[in-house]
Amino acid sequence: GAARVVVIGGGFGGAACARALKRSETTLQVTLVEPNRTFTACPFSNEVIAGLREIEAQQFGYEKIASDGVSVIAQAATAIDPQARRVTLADGSSLSYDRLVLSPGVDFHFDGLPGYDEAASQKMPHAWTAGEQTLLLRRQLEAMEDGGVVAIAVPANPSRCPPAPYERASLIAHYLKANKPRSKVLILDAKDNFTQQKLFEKAWAELYGGMIERVSLSQGGRVTSVDPASNTVITEFGNYTPQVANVIPPQRAGRIAAIAGAADTTGWCPIDPMTFESRLMPSIHVIGDACLGGGIPKSASAASAQGKACANAIVNLIAGRAPETPRLTGVCYNTVAPAYGFSLAGNYQPKGDIFAEVEGGATSPLDAPPERRAREAADAERWFQTITAATFG
Ligand code: FAD
């Protein structure tokens, strides 16, 4: 019969992969397993937190993917038997596969942050998955009195979307400047340096002079535990009790990856970058945030590019053809205020067990006229429209 490919996770990686599989080889039986009937996208969710956008603009359904001929099952995958090549779903039913693709995104590594767990996230939202958490953080900002402190706890890398905490700090400062100008943003950081740091710091000085303070790793900024009862954030340097605590915990691959045996002791999934096949489990491919991608930042643009390249590799493997070397491109936009954006574009190719950056990348200049920043902010919106239309539209 026709070869069967099951894709777990209908986010940027999995949805792109399922669609590309079906489009390039119509005889494949492609099944997409995703518990949510509506996907809520993280890119641009920082704008929702800052009141610049509504959550509905982040939400997408699976109807178009289903009408492409992908069978979409609204269930969570709960178990995987790699020997029998079988996936068990939450309702107890099961699916057999010839090839399995995992794109479950991230899970939170609560053991890495004492005091923080699912219950704590209802008080100290992470807003690192989009939806209720995004809205909770927004409501907390709206309810805060002028003069309050908003703390953002930033984990070490690897984590989902390395620039996003700083974009968030910027957009929260934008909201506070307009609505609660005596307030401050305090970034408690488990890193010394971060991506596009000079561009961010220049923008902060230009737009939000003095409103954003950052305590780096060397300055004792790493958050070591939290106490949700008193809204206290404990760092290597001291304790803070901010009015709003946005605690972004350390992360690892979505739980199903570990259940499948595809995650190593780092919590992430080593792959062969030529095919995205797991180094630990044959016939299981891992894409998106969950995989150890090396030089590729964990982003929606990377997950989408990986999804398409993985689909291509699987079609070749099933047909008995040699894999083609994937060449991935990704671009990350940061919007620090309306009409003020900058970006980082990169190209990546397999090198040993990871992807390495190759030439052709570009970053926005440190000195640029306002028109350039405005154009990049508009490019960012266009990027979002394009990627979501290609994935879900
Ligand atoms: P996801 O998109 O998270 O999809 C994973 C899916 O798997 C989910 O729908 C989940 O329900 C499903 N799933 C999990 N477990 C199971 C299971 N057991 N069974 C079935 N389904 C399961 N990236 C950019 O490129 N540009 C940006 O501007 C940008 N901004 C960001 C801002 C913020 C605040 C954040 C947090 C992230 C941002 N990102 C951005 C990063 C981007 O959201 C992620 O890198 C991207 O979503 C990764 O895609 P993925 O397919 O790996 O995971």
Question: Residue 64: exposed, middle, or buried by beta-carbon count in 10 A (0-12, 13-18, 19+)?
Answer: middle
- Per the listing, tokens 């739980």 go with 255
Q: Name the residue with the closest Cα to ligand 1, atom 7.
A: 9
1 has pLDDT over 90? no
Assess whether the C-beta atom of 126 lies below 6 angstroms from ligand 1: no
Assess whether the C-beta atom of 10 lies below 6 angstroms from ligand 1: yes
**Residue (of 336, 275, 335) closest to 306 by Cα position:** 275
Model confidence band, residue 178 (pLDDT cutoffs 50, 70, 90): very high
Assess whether the C-beta atom of 257 lies below 6 angstroms from ligand 1: no
Q: Is 328 helix (H, G, I), strand (E, B) or coil?
A: strand
Helix 132-143 and helix 164-179, axial crossing angle in degrees, nearest 10: 30
- Per the listing, tokens 């990986």 go with 306
> What six digits make up the tokens of 229?
């009862």
Assess whether the C-beta atom of 11 lies below 6 angstroms from ligand 1: yes
Assess whether the C-beta atom of 33 lies below 6 angstroms from ligand 1: yes
Over the stretch 353-385, which tens digit does the pLDDT of each residue have? 899 999 999 999 999 999 999 999 999 999 999
User: Which is the closest atom of ligand 1 to the Cα of 307?
Assistant: 51
Q: Is 82 helix (H, G, I), strand (E, B) or coil?
A: coil
CB 391 within 8 A of CB 15: yes
Q: What is the pLDDT of residue 54?
A: 98
**CA 134–ligand 1 middle distance (angstroms):** 14
- Compute the C-alpha angle 274/279/284, nearest 5°: 80
Calpha distance 18→12 (Å, rounded): 10
Q: Name the residue with the closest Cα to ligand 1, atom 51.
A: 13
Residue-by-residue DSSP string for 83-134: TTTEEEETTS-EEE-SEEEE---EEE-GGGSTT-STTGGGTS----SSSHHH
User: Which is the closest atom of ligand 1 to the Cα of 16?
Assistant: 51
**CA 300–ligand 1 middle distance (angstroms):** 7
User: Which is the closest atom of ligand 1 to the Cα of 331?
Assistant: 25
Assess whether the C-beta atom of 131 lies below 6 angstroms from ligand 1: no
DSSP 294: B
Q: Name the residue with the closest Cα to ligand 1, atom 47.
A: 300
Q: How many CB atoms lie within 10 A of CB 75?
A: 16
Half-sphere exposure of 101 (CA within 13 A, CB side): 39
68 has pLDDT over 90? yes
**CA 297–ligand 1 middle distance (angstroms):** 13
Q: Is the pTM of this model over 0.90?
A: yes
User: Which is the closest atom of ligand 1 to the Cα of 289?
Assistant: 52
DSSP 326: P
CB 167 within 8 A of CB 195: no
Calpha distance 277→310 (Å, rounded): 9
> What six digits make up the tokens of 191?
């890193």
User: Which of 12, 53, 136 to probe ligand 1 with, by most ligand atoms within 8 A of CB?
Assistant: 12
* Sign of torsion over alpha carbons 199, 203, 206, 212: negative
CB 57 within 8 A of CB 32: no
Over the stretch 99-113, which tens digit does the pLDDT of each residue have? 999 999 999 999 999
- Per the listing, tokens 């005889």 go with 27
Over the stretch 282-291, which tens digit does the pLDDT of each residue have? 999 999 999 9
**CA 46–ligand 1 middle distance (angstroms):** 14
User: Which is the closest atom of ligand 1 to the Cα of 78?
Assistant: 18
User: Which is the closest atom of ligand 1 to the Cα of 256?
Assistant: 18
Is the reported ipTM for this assembly greater than 0.95? Answer: yes
- Sequence-separated (6 or more) residues with CB below 8 Å from residue 263: 252, 253, 257, 269, 280, 290
365: cis peptide before it, omega within 30°? no
Q: Compute the average pLDDT of residues 12-27.
A: 97
**Residue (of 146, 108, 139, 128) closest to 45 by Cα position:** 128
User: Which is the closest atom of ligand 1 to the Cα of 300?
Assistant: 25
